[in-house]
Amino acid sequence: MVLDNSGRNRFRDTMRSSYRRRVARLASMRYLIFFKPYNVLPSFTDPESQGRPTLAQYISAPEVYPAGRLDYDSEGLMLLTDDGQLAHRLTHPRYHLPKTYFVQVENVPTEAALTALRRGVIVKGQKTAPAEVELLTVEPDLPPRSIPIRVRATIPTAWLRMVLREGRKRQIRHMTAAVGHPTLRLVRVAIGPLTLRGLAPGEWRELEAAELAALRRALGWSDRPSARTSRRSASP
């Protein structure tokens, strides 16, 4: 059946109405980025009631929740939101959103170690997905950690830039340990198109409209209604 003009108009009006509702829903939701300091839990409460620092000591915005996690002893970018659909896509491996880390390791990895990390290593019986791994020649411009790493005069360190598209628990630490280079410091500097730009440890801000649009595109969303009219042909 082919839609007549009246049917096409109704379909177009429905699409426009749906788009307006979606825009209104997005406008009412909150999207925050936060620079999590070292030794801060990635949650608003301490599940073990040990009195450890939590997000509640830094973020006063109500009804937002972390979209994904970042280990207690890791630092860097977190996204918090009350948009459940976006949080689901952000954490689901199906969408392959890249997350970028600066990683300080013991000793200087050989090319063989770097190749192994890029191709995937065995972690707890499973091979990790291919990753982007670069040995940095210059130390990244990061704020000092609240508790400095333990430096041993006889053991040099190196910095890696790693981009992962999966998120197993403590994955980077397991990966670098598997090739003989324990992680000393780990800082997430980007989630897809979002970065730590303008943030110091412990600071947060609302996402800008352009940042949110870029993130939604990276997750496979379009905020514009389709102009295409549905047509189905049928036998006369």
pLDDT in tens, 106-126: 999 999 999 999 999 999 999
| 183 membership: H or E segment, kind and range | strand 183-191
Number of H helices, E strands in the chain: 5, 11
Q: Which of 74, 79, 43 is nearest to 214 (CA)?
A: 79
Percent of the chain whose pLDDT exceeds 90: 70
Cβ-contact 162, 101 below 8 angstroms: yes
Question: pLDDT confidence of 228, banded at 50, 70, 90?
Answer: very low
- 128-162 CB burial, b ≥16 within 10 A, e <16: beebebeeeeeeeebeebeeeeeeeeeeebbbbeb
Fold of 98-191: Alpha-Beta Plaits (3.30.70)
State how far the Cα of 78 lies from the Cα of 34, in Å rounded to an integer: 5
Of 46, 71, 73, 82, the active-site residue reads 71
Q: Is the pLDDT of residue 178 over 50?
A: yes
The pLDDT of 117-146, averaged and rounded, is: 96
pLDDT in tens, 142-155: 999 999 998 888 89
* Contacting residues for 167 by C-beta, under 8 A, at least 6 apart: 68, 91, 93, 99
Q: Which residue has the higher pLDDT, 212 or 4?
A: 212
What pLDDT shows up at residue 27? Answer: 63
**70 alpha carbon, distance to own chain's centre:** 9
The question of whether 141 is a catalytic residue gets the answer: no
Q: Which of 133, 143, 201 is nearest to 172 (CA)?
A: 133
Taking the domains of the chain in order of start, what are their residue ranges? 98-191
